[in-house]
Structure 1
Amino acid sequence: MRNFKNLILIVIALFLVGCGSKGEKMSDDDFSKYEKQAQAAISLINERKTVEFIDLTEKSLGFKKEILEEAYKNLENYGKFVEFGKSKGIYEEEKDKGETYFTILQKVKYDKKDALFRVSFNKDNKIIGIFFK
């Protein structure tokens, strides 16, 4: 449980990109690209394909099997995957580093309750953060 809490703190820190930076709506081309990538990553999580998911992440962040297994346990409360819902794409900027991140907010319907995933990518198309509630 402690590892999961650490993951959540890392994810929250990543999403607090730049103090007060606001997200700008993504271009249609970027949205199409990153929406597909986010849905593919969420599908890997739904299918419990840990190694394949970790391959999509930024290596320096150290996503670990144990952390994902904790997330899988939490995801069990949502039930079985039904379908992807609406999604939205935004650019987020980390002002200190001048880096832009590509974030997809993806609604996902499960048979017990719905979830909202937030998946962020860096310029190298690697996942730098994923969170669901």
Structure 2
Amino acid sequence: MRHCQAKTKSGRPCPNKPSASGYCFTHDPARGKERAAARKLGGARNRVPHNGDADALPKRVRTLQDVLSVLDYALAETLPMENSIQRGRLLVALAHAFVETIKEGELEARVEAVERALKLRGEE
């Protein structure tokens, strides 16, 4: 079996089957435009569509609700991704951020309730 005339980056002969030009698809100088089109098509096919609603993101993060909106967006973008160690770590980090934000919100609500109760009693 014949092999491509080109050499790999490591300097070894390319093991791919050659076309009539003597080069494989990857190394054929005359097929550069075809390779570029194939790369572009491959990228489009492998693209993961956005699932988060970017319009729902606040322009500036100033409140706990804004933080939750950003976290919701990040979660919606992360869930459809291919399963990987990085995705798993990101999901754990997002879960932790949600828990901390919710705890902060509950604490804030409790303080406000105590302040209202004290105000009603006439104490400050």
Shorter-chain TM-score tier: under 0.3
- Work out which structure has the larger RCO, using CA pairs closer than 8 Å and 6 or more positions apart in sequence: 1
* Structure with max Cα Rg: 2
Give the TM-score of the pair, scaled to structure 1. 0.21
Give the TM-score of the pair, scaled to structure 2. 0.22
Q: Between Structure 1 and Structure 2, which shows a larger proportion of strand residues? A: 1
Q: Between Structure 1 and Structure 2, which shows a larger proportion of helix residues? A: 2
